[in-house]
Structure 1
Amino acid sequence: MINILDKTFVPFISRDTIENRIAEMAALISKDYENSCPLFVVVLNGAFLFASELVKKIPLSCEITFIRLSSYVQTESTGTVRQIIGMEETMTGRDVIIIEDIVDTGLTMTQLLKQIEVLAPKSIEIATLLHKPEALKTPLEMRYVGFEIENKFVVGYGLDYDGIGRNLDSLYVLA
């Protein structure tokens, strides 16, 4: 059990389980893009740990860029997505893989997909560590999903509660 600010969290998914699943995802991506040089678009801040572990296990030539979007205040989605840092890389004709920490409502990802689609990539796929199907408010197809979880608030492995808890090497769920 851990305390972050005014909340208590309990263990949810261990580091070993996470790392094993990331290795499986990396193998799938490596196979799917063996004749490509994909562009990985990492959604900050939450996806940085997941992205780091994932791309280290992908032996392909690739490019990595970052975008920062925000839709959360404390434990709740605001429903409004703000772009804080944008992309500058050319995406025309490229295979793009968005790396996200968690997809819950799908609102942030839907907006990001629209922004990327107008840049005329060859393909766009999503790789997310976590997905909350119960929370989805808009249809969304995701090719690479680490874990489907219940609609509960989690921290660790890049995910935070008011900026705290990203550095935890396992996932914890709100008690």
Structure 2
Amino acid sequence: MQSVQHNTMQKERILILDEKNIDWKLQRMAYQIWERNSNEQSIILIGIENGGKAVAESLAERLRKISPLSVELISLKINKKQVLQNDDVKMSTSLTGRAVVVVDDVTNSGKTLTYALKPLLAYEPSSLMVAVLVDRQHKSFPVSPDIVGHTVATTLQEHIEVECNADGSMQAYLM
């Protein structure tokens, strides 16, 4: 593992997933999504802004290459400070009777995913799955991802950051 000193935060960042490893994990996740939705003709990926959106974009591109699924990509912004505003989420496309996968970069407590899933249930999708690139397994909320790229055991004080670059490449760091 590569250790990087980050000057602005004075916190050590340890590289846990490089671009090559993330690429492999995203490809495996795309195959898992296709396998679990092989009876569908189309699928909707909803990426939670910001990191989840980047992961969803990569998964959508991969799914289009490896499967016959028609893939639609939607971005979802979650307001963690004013939770009740999340109930007013308006989708640009109908989710009713459709297969939906909510995508995020990292799960910590499960709070963000809970806030994302709650308003989506009102749209009555035929199925609703959760895919995350990195799962920390410190759940305070009863949400567990269906598809996980990488699982990391951390302390409560440590954090995982997925860095998304302009060229679409990503790296994950333990901080």
- TM-score greater than 0.5 by the shorter chain: yes
In structure 1, the partner of 2:116 is: 112
Partner secondary structure for residue 69 of structure 1: coil
Equivalent residue in structure 2 for 1:43, among 34, 44, 48: 48
Q: Do the aligned partners of residues 103 and 33 (structure 1) sit closer, same or farther apart at CA in structure 2, a change above 3 Å counting? A: same
CA deviations over 1:37-57 (Å, ceiling 9, x no partner): 011111001113222221111
- The gaps in structure 1 that reach 5 residues or longer are 72-77, 160-166
3-state DSSP of counterpart to 2:34: helix
Question: Does the residue aligned with 1:110 lie in a helix, a strand or coil?
Answer: helix
TM-score, normalisation: structure 2: 0.79
Q: Which has the higher helix share?
A: 2
- State whether residues 27 and 62 of structure 2, in contact with CA within 8 Å, keep that contact through their aligned partners in structure 1: yes
For residue 57 of structure 2, what is the amino acid of its counterpart? S
The aligned residue for residue 138 of structure 1 is: 141
TM (normalized to structure 1)?
0.79
Task: Say if 1:48 and 1:158, in contact at 8 Å, map to a contact too.
Answer: no
Aligned to 1:67: 76
- Per-residue deviation, 1:106: 0.8
Alignment equivalent of 1:58, drawn from 57, 60, 63: 63
User: Aligned-pair distance for 1:34?
Assistant: 2.5
Aligned to 2:170: 169
Runs of 4 or more, structure 1, over 6 Å off, are: none
Percent identity between the two aligned chains: 20
Q: 1:150 maps to what in 2?
A: 153
